[in-house]
Amino acid sequence: MQPYKCFILDDYQSVAEKMADWSKLPQSISIHTLHSPLSSLDQQIEVLKDATILVVMRERTAIARQLLSQLPSLKLIVTSGMRNAAIDIAAATELGITVCGTESSSVPPAELAWGLLLALSRQICSESSALAANGPWQSTVGMTLQGKKLGIIGLGKTGKLIARYAQAFGMEVYAWSSNLTEAQAQQQGVTFVASKREILQLADVITLHLVSSPRSHGIISYSDLQQMKKTALLINTSRAELIAEGALVRALENGDIAAAAIDVFEQEPLAAGSVYRTTRNLLATPHLGYVSDTNYHTFFGQAIEDIQAWLNGEPLRVLG
């Protein structure tokens, strides 16, 4: 078999080669793992110019037509998950490049969203930071979740898990999205809300769980945030573009809502001086939703399966 170069991109934690048995691949395939982002198109082309296979982690690196057209040896892209808006799949198809995906569990992002809600409602991070800085002993009063109203915008796989967690905590659970029906909400034991305005106004906590699409971009505007209770909390672990750019920081600075927790950003990794690092009453995490042991074992284990299947002429989980 002819030698192939396989590049694993954006392995921030240096765990890709530990999470799966890459020795299952033929010795003719050399594995090259990159731990930092490739910061420009020129750098991407220079580093990846001899790549036959790319293994990409979610949407950390844009795989655009301009890049694909400059990689003459590239034949296969494997992405974690079955959806990746950062890959120009149409261009890949035109250039004869196969794009395959992997399975992905909704449990890790749901657990993170719930963890952020708990941390925010009880001010866990600020109280812990105060202790570490020899600050005051108790400086906040937390929110009890039992009996409070949770508004879920997007009752898909992750939203359904969140509904179950909230019900276990004794919360009243409401849901809305533009295509959600009352029957679908009732199947989950959730109260259907007919409009975005209504769910924003009634909820003590809003959590966003929509996929990225032209219809969902900017679905939460600054005026929408002003409709929420001033004591309300907002959680976004789905997509940064669901909230109009700048709207959340403005709402927090103006006291339109009490606090927010976000795991997704317009630009990732965040710049050192990003306002999201310093805004008061904002709990920010570095896009950890899908980052878990189970998901990583699945991602990299199935990446190997995808490569093996492609080598055998029978690609698995083909996208596009």
195 part of a folded domain:
yes
Q: Are 182 and 305 in a shared domain?
A: no
> Could you give the CA distance from residue 20 to residue 298 in angstroms, rounded to a whole number?
9
Residues 71 and 45 in one domain: yes
The set of catalytic residues is 239, 268, 287
Please, is 292 exposed, middle or buried when counting C-beta atoms within 10 Å of its C-beta (0-12, 13-18, 19+)?
middle
With respect to residue 317, please indicate whether it lies within any of the assigned structural domains. no
Q: Are residues 73 and 185 in the same domain?
A: no
Q: Is the pLDDT of residue 1 over 80?
A: no
Verify that 263 and 116 share a domain, yes or no: yes
Give the pLDDT confidence of 213-258 residue by residue, as tens digits.
Answer: 999 999 999 999 999 999 999 999 999 999 999 999 999 999 999 9
The count of domains in the chain is 2
Residue 318 lies in a domain: no
Mean pLDDT rounded to a whole number for the chain: 97
For residue 274 the two structure tokens come to 């990003």
Average pLDDT of 30-50? Answer: 96
Look up the CATH number of the domain holding residue 307: 3.40.50.720
Asked if the structure places residue 125 within a domain, the reply is yes
What are the tens digits of pLDDT across the range 163-201? 999 999 999 999 999 999 999 999 999 999 999 999 999
Domain containing 147: what range? 106-284
Same domain, 40 and 119: no
